[in-house]
Amino acid sequence: MSVSSLAFPACWNCGAPPGGGHFCVGCGKIQPLDPASGYFAFFGLPEKLNLDAADLDRRYLALSWKLHPDNFVRAEEFERNLSLDRSSVLNDAYRVLRDPVSRAEYLLARHGVRKEGQTKQQAPPELLEEVFELNESLEELRAARRSGDAAESVALARSLETAGRNFQAKLGEVDSELAGAFGEWDAALDRSAGEDDRARLMARMNEILNRRSYIRNLVAGVTQELGEAPGE
């Protein structure tokens, strides 16, 4: 699935065969973006999930400098537009790849594993139960704070803190599970693992990410609630 294997037109300026890069290998002119190439290829990276953040930052800075519309003020409008296109994709790609969770979500979406409204897979019932209960205590705390019942509010805040710590710990567990799956995915790419192996790994990452979204939601809810002083 490398970029160069995709049928894409020759250079618009000199007719050199497509190299898949941002600029023509023959004449150096900026090239239109191949919509199929994706964010990893944009940075010249393989679709690996353990990514060196400092390396990504360097690539981002180098590219933003090279693709910047300021470099094209005297060029044709066509080239200027290409530079604008590439600069905006650059920023999207950087934002998505920089964060490990959105990076994994992107990879799964790109391979059709994660689709809006189609995730039929249910989280384990104990987790949903727990998520539900914590949501209920959050709701109680909000109500108690609104009604100004100070004593109850203090007790609730304390139990929320405990719950929040538990969920923070759970989030940590899920994240290390995810990190393990990242390692397996990268190793699978290294040994050119078959479709089945990859599909199995992606399904597992999808399941981990689903669990993560409930927990993250709760951690955020607890943080927000505890962050607001009572009566505010």
Partner 1 sequence: MAYSEKVIDHYNNPRNVGSMPKEDPKVGTGMVGAPECGDVMRLQIRVNPETQVIEDAKFKTFGCGSAIASSSLATEWVKGRTVEDALSIKNTDIVRELALPPVKIHCSVLAEDAIKAAIGDWKRKQGAEESQASAAAAPAED
Which residues are at the interface with partner 1 (CB under 8 A)? Answer: 116-117, 119-123, 125, 128-129, 131-132, 135, 139, 209-211, 213-218
Cα separation, 139 vs 121, in Å, equals: 27
CB nearer to partner 1: pick between 59 and 211? 211
Least Å distance, CB 179 to partner 1, is 19
Q: Which is nearer to partner 1, 30 or 218 (CB)?
A: 218
Q: Which residues make beta-bridge pairs with 129?
A: none
CB of 210 to partner 1, least distance (A): 3
DSSP code string of 77-134: HHHHHHHHHHHHHHHHHHHHHHSHHHHHHHHHHHTTSS-TT---PPPPHHHHHHHHHH
224, containing H or E segment? helix 195-227
Which CB sits closer to partner 1, 2 or 121?
121
Query: Least separation, in Å, of the C-beta of 220 and partner 1?
Result: 9
Q: How far is the CB of 42 from partner 1 (least distance, A)?
A: 26
Of the pair 18, 221, the CB lying nearest partner 1 is at 221
Q: Which residues contact 103 (CB under 8 A, 6 or more apart)?
A: 49, 51, 96, 97
